[in-house]
Amino acid sequence: MKRKIVTETISCMLIVLFVYAAISKLLDYGTFLLQLGKSPFITVFAPFIVWALPLIELACVALLLFRKTKIWGLYGSLFLMTLFTAYIYSMLHYSYYVPCSCGGILSKMSWTQHLWFNIAFVLLSILGILLEARLPMNTIIKRRKLQASFS
């Protein structure tokens, strides 16, 4: 029961984060495109990323909403948050220019704060995967009884 509550809480946090991020990117499309275009690592891909990223974030949200697809949503969230974290790390350590393409509250964070924020969500995604992927306890008990009967 506790495992389910923690998993649902993590999923809700990721849903809020991705819905907020996707909507803010889509609502401020021009600024988002401009900032991505200034990024030294992804300038060439900016016209594609400006649409793909919010759609991928919303796809993760859709996967997180349903029990049968929640694990895929958690894996997608881990992938996205790891990608975002690696991007921020590389911008902080290897870029001559650090544009900010985040909107709303996230744009108020420093890049270092944003890095730690993302690391926290990477860890939450990992925890969600570990908790969601575990078999229900009654399945484990049944398997052990079955194995014991063959011994």
Domain residue limits, the chain: 2-150
pLDDT at 9: 96
Is the per-residue pLDDT at 17 higher than 80?
A: yes
**d(Cα 41, Cα 59) in Å, to the nearest integer?**
24
pLDDT at 15: 98
Three-point CA angle 105, 107, 112, nearest 5°: 110
pLDDT tens digits, 94-123: 876 666 656 566 667 888 888 999 999 999
What band does 139 get if pLDDT is binned at 50, 70 and 90?
Answer: low
pLDDT at 93: 85
pTM above 0.85, yes or no: no
**d(Cα 102, Cα 25) in Å, to the nearest integer?**
7
Contacts of residues 75-78 at CB distance under 8 Å and 24 or more positions apart, as own/partner, are 75/129, 77/14, 77/18, 77/121, 77/125, 77/128, 78/122, 78/125, 78/126, 78/129
CB 62 within 8 A of CB 109: no
Q: Among residues of the chain, what percentage have pLDDT more than 90?
A: 50
pLDDT tens digits, 37-73: 887 778 888 889 999 999 999 999 999 999 999 999 9
Is the per-residue pLDDT at 21 higher than 70?
A: yes
pLDDT at 108: 75
pLDDT at 128: 95
Is the per-residue pLDDT at 148 higher than 70?
A: no
pLDDT at 5: 92
Neighbours of 5 (CB within 10 A): 10
pLDDT at 36: 82
Stated as kind and residue range, the H or E segment containing 27 is helix 2-27
